[in-house]
Structure 1
């Protein structure tokens, strides 16, 4: 056994030395890229390159060999790759009876220094953590946060460390109010709460679908025995006036209808209104109440389908109903169907399936269709429908131009089919879409963010070029502010925290290059957006992808925000699932965890804060602190024949 161990040591030492030389050659190869990195990221950039190259090779045999000798499995090499390899080499030296090749003190200090660098970067970007915690809590603000400062205060009191504003919703006036409310809440609880704002980036979505009929249904509510428990309701108000606030009543929603003002004034409590509905059914409704704002509420014993052309009759006077919106139409998609995506912006026509007509559907980003190729995967509505491109063709138009059509074969849909609506997301994991990472709307929002927020979260990152483009736009904003003599605005733009949302397949595949480009900026982080990643990479890959990304970011000494569906069941329904509580334990290995909106979000913040404090004493990234487990104090006292009281 000793001879075999000696032989293994003799093989591993030169292998380790050659591996370290190879990793250093990588650092030298990327010297120009490292020179462009901000000084605070120099150490992280070099370690990132070493780690990326290490993970580009299979060193499992090295791990197994070192482990069999009782050395190290290299399983936590991320903070300082070279120091970990040098430590392993030194162990082999000692086993062989030689003096350590590498000085011990720098190796001993390497991990602590790397941890300090990451902590400093996380604090600069995300703010300090609370006592006994490792991760911050980021909370997405609902639109109500603009006009409800108490709501924001409750979030802060529950444990919110950062407030997230989604620039895809509301507008600058509402954003400014939200920021003011966040600052007021921070003052009230006595600690800073940073503001993070999301730029949506270009979105690829399905185009318009022709509207359905303008029909609304007034429906009775029946119990399980079929008895009517609530009547059908009509809410009548004057034409060309805003719809008044409708009453909240038990049962089904009523039908709001615009009518002629003079006809409406002729109604009184007890008036009977008759109509022939869209099916030719005769119905009558009795006015039960007329509110001071003019809204007349009428009840009926039977349901009715009421269209924009329906006539209402009262005391010989007739009015035509108006103000009924067209129904939203859906396209039912079944596995095996053929679906055509087109650059033509015309609304899709909904066909009955019995007709056997292929549905042609537009897309709001024609560049995406132009970039499709046979074999590419196309996912609709967060992966609810999966399809493959079979053909891409040019179709002549009447004016001499051409449209591009992608013929798709649907490979997966729900049992019995899945309904596809207009303006639903399209994911193209195999396709490079020739669009900038910031839209015109994003660039306008970035001007506001750069002056008012602490962090900008950038969506749709795919390559290092996208990152450079974003940083260039920030530099332009700072330069314009300098030119205008606004030194504070210029400084704010230069120091704005930048978080790169990793949500596309290219960004995951090119993560090292994306990080290296981002490290040109002093204050940098990444967000692991598990939603789109799961759609594009497949749900099974989520078992490992977040962990791998967190390891790569740790090697770069860059903080991570973990996002998507953290405590979602709790936030929306008030009770966490067992699985999502386990998920929280993993999520808290990141420097920040993002919670989305929900009616019970305050309780979700409280629970996440409590769990964070508990784990903060025993967990740092993938390393466990072997603290005493009080629950196991007597775990060996019980004999097989005894039962603990």
Structure 2
């Protein structure tokens, strides 16, 4: 037993010592952080130190000896290590001020700034997608507010400014009359990489493809016959950066293909799998390139055109397909040109590149007074692979909690219930995870009120499980890579 305690003490002292120097080692970086996030940035960097280290054996020893296994300590990791060492007789000249209470308080305060306070009976705020179809449904808007909606989401990829203005006017009127606060969130459309049939199937907007077929990706379609299946990604520069072997997913991953040949600026794809109904490839379906670093700007010309309206009316703005800190700097700069008072940015994490750069993105976000993160699981699942979604969405949640950044759990929450009125067993479990985030986003559907009823019931029943138990901390690759790059930049 004493040998165990000696090993525990040695492992924790090493971690505590490294964390104690964060404020000096990363002094230059921490100077750029907004005052609201100074201690949060330090806690985040300390958490990255923990997660770059393999502590699985240490955790087992901690658990075996009845000590904290460091689970659920994201928001106050340094103090948790100190407290554990104190139980082993270790004294500290300076105790860390970031405790479980202060860490959770910072997350709650940030969430209240972004989403407002959750309604009575809810552990999370609720965001509901609203479009022009709601304009004749004033009573429904009132019911949504009464059932828990605290944020109305407008997707700028749909409708137009006149309709957005009417939607916002309706929401604000019903919010004022009911006395129920409701914020306005607007999602920028982002790059629209979608299928455009150039040859075969062009007139009908669909074409039959099966496993083993070969089709072409091309910007122009020139040099092909009308019998060839040729699709354009609708964004210049995509085809040119593809490499042989790169995977391509079409229609939310229903069709999987890989680049087999590059010829005259075009790319030939081999269809590896087609899980769509009737083996059809349709026009206007999304295309994902998970293996390819695209040079497409995250802020499109259409987004720029929308910004004056968004800055004037929105409380928060969703940055679709943000991938790197420079993207965030660009959006902040463009909004500040319009007004000194800009909406808080919600980073929509929906690409492999965004996941890989999440530490950079969070620290860049901390240069602003408030910001949040949306775990946009639709495109994210296609980009990283459906099998990895559970793992990655948890990792995003851990990192955001360590940075005291509120998260929005989005995409297909109670989707079957929303569309058909009947929930599947699997999505009830998923909803249980959803209500552990600071905000839950639901899309539009025919059974929105039923979804809100079910979500509230799930929230009540799972509220006591809010603190999640995580026994095993395997090393996080993105934590190690980020700190290595950061240390290299500081040494030059």
The normalised TM-score by structure 1 is 0.69
Choose from 249, 254, 260 the match for 1:379: 249
Q: Higher helix proportion, which one?
A: 2
Contact (CA 8 Å) 1:345, 1:363: kept in 2 or not? no
CA shift, 1:444, in A, is 1.4
The residue aligned with 1:545 is 392
Contact (CA 8 Å) 1:125, 1:455: kept in 2 or not? yes
1:500-541 residue CA offsets vs partner (Å, 9 max, x unmatched):
000000111111111111111111000001111111111111
Q: 1:612 to 1:416 in 2, by over 3 A?
A: closer
Choose from 356, 363, 371 the match for 1:516: 363
CA shift, 1:158, in A, is 2.0
The residue aligned with 2:350 is 503
Provide the alpha-carbon RMSD of the alignment. 2.3
Q: 1:142 to 1:349 in 2, by over 3 A?
A: farther
In structure 1, how many angstroms separate the alpha carbons of the residues matched to 2:371 and 2:190? 18
The residue aligned with 1:30 is 26
Question: Is it true that 1:113 corresponds to 2:102 in the alignment?
Answer: yes
Alignment of structure 1 residues 619-638 onto 2, 5 Å: 619-622=465-468
In structure 1, how many angstroms separate the alpha carbons of the residues matched to 2:445 and 2:396? 27
The residue aligned with 2:210 is 334
In structure 1, how many angstroms separate the alpha carbons of the residues matched to 2:159 and 2:356? 33
Choose from 116, 123, 131 the match for 1:142: 131
1:60-101 residue CA offsets vs partner (Å, 9 max, x unmatched):
0110111121111111120111111112222222xxxxxx31
Alignment of structure 1 residues 156-175 onto 2, 5 Å: 156-175=145-164
The residue aligned with 1:195 is 184
Contact (CA 8 Å) 2:78, 2:96: kept in 1 or not? no
The residue aligned with 2:441 is 594
Which one is further off, 59-68 or 415-424? 415-424
The residue aligned with 1:96 is none
The residue aligned with 1:362 is 232
In structure 1, how many angstroms separate the alpha carbons of the residues matched to 2:122 and 2:139? 26
Contact (CA 8 Å) 2:244, 2:262: kept in 1 or not? yes
Question: Is it true that 1:392 corresponds to 2:280 in the alignment?
Answer: no
Q: 1:458 to 1:415 in 2, by over 3 A?
A: closer
Question: Is it true that 1:185 corresponds to 2:146 in the alignment?
Answer: no
CA shift, 1:347, in A, is 11
In structure 2, how many angstroms separate the alpha carbons of the residues matched to 1:463 and 1:28? 26
CA shift, 1:164, in A, is 0.3
Choose from 284, 301, 306 the match for 1:440: 301
1:272-305 residue CA offsets vs partner (Å, 9 max, x unmatched):
xxxxxxxxxxxxxxxxxxxxxxxxxxxxxxxxxx
The residue aligned with 2:332 is 471
In structure 2, how many angstroms separate the alpha carbons of the residues matched to 1:152 and 1:31? 49
In structure 2, how many angstroms separate the alpha carbons of the residues matched to 1:168 and 1:509? 26
In structure 2, how many angstroms separate the alpha carbons of the residues matched to 1:331 and 1:347? 19
Contact (CA 8 Å) 1:172, 1:448: kept in 2 or not? yes
Q: Higher relative contact order at CA 8 Å, sep ≥6: structure 1 or structure 2?
A: 2
Query: 1:437 aligns to what SS in structure 2?
Result: coil
Question: Is it true that 1:584 corresponds to 2:454 in the alignment?
Answer: no
Q: Give 5+ residue unaligned stretches, structure 1.
A: 94-99, 213-325, 352-357, 396-403, 479-489, 625-645
Alignment of structure 1 residues 169-318 onto 2, 5 Å: 169-210=158-199
1:526-558 residue CA offsets vs partner (Å, 9 max, x unmatched):
000111111111111122221111111000000
Alignment of structure 1 residues 64-143 onto 2, 5 Å: 64-93=60-89, 100-102=90-92, 110-143=99-132
Contact (CA 8 Å) 2:121, 2:456: kept in 1 or not? no
In structure 1, how many angstroms separate the alpha carbons of the residues matched to 2:6 and 2:113? 46
CA shift, 1:586, in A, is 0.9
Q: Give 5+ residue unaligned stretches, structure 2.
A: 471-492
1:407-438 residue CA offsets vs partner (Å, 9 max, x unmatched):
22222223897211122211011111112211
CA shift, 1:445, in A, is 1.0
Alignment of structure 1 residues 519-538 onto 2, 5 Å: 519-538=366-385
Q: Higher strand proportion, which one?
A: 1
CA shift, 1:12, in A, is 2.4
Contact (CA 8 Å) 2:417, 2:424: kept in 1 or not? yes
CA shift, 1:604, in A, is 1.1
In structure 2, how many angstroms separate the alpha carbons of the residues matched to 1:450 and 1:70? 52
In structure 2, how many angstroms separate the alpha carbons of the residues matched to 1:146 and 1:68? 59
Query: 2:99 aligns to what SS in structure 1?
Result: helix
In structure 1, how many angstroms separate the alpha carbons of the residues matched to 2:170 and 2:357? 38
Contact (CA 8 Å) 1:211, 1:328: kept in 2 or not? no
Query: 2:180 aligns to what SS in structure 1?
Result: coil
The normalised TM-score by structure 2 is 0.90
Contact (CA 8 Å) 2:199, 2:229: kept in 1 or not? no
In structure 1, how many angstroms separate the alpha carbons of the residues matched to 2:216 and 2:396? 36
Query: 1:137 aligns to what SS in structure 2?
Result: strand
In structure 2, how many angstroms separate the alpha carbons of the residues matched to 1:615 and 1:189? 28
CA shift, 1:197, in A, is 0.5
CA shift, 1:346, in A, is 5.8
CA shift, 1:205, in A, is 1.5
Which one is further off, 328-337 or 377-386? 328-337
Contact (CA 8 Å) 2:73, 2:100: kept in 1 or not? no
CA shift, 1:146, in A, is 3.1
CA shift, 1:345, in A, is 5.1
Query: 2:400 aligns to what SS in structure 1?
Result: helix
Larger Rg: 1
The residue aligned with 1:254 is none
Which one is further off, 146-155 or 167-176? 146-155
Choose from 46, 49, 55 the match for 1:50: 46
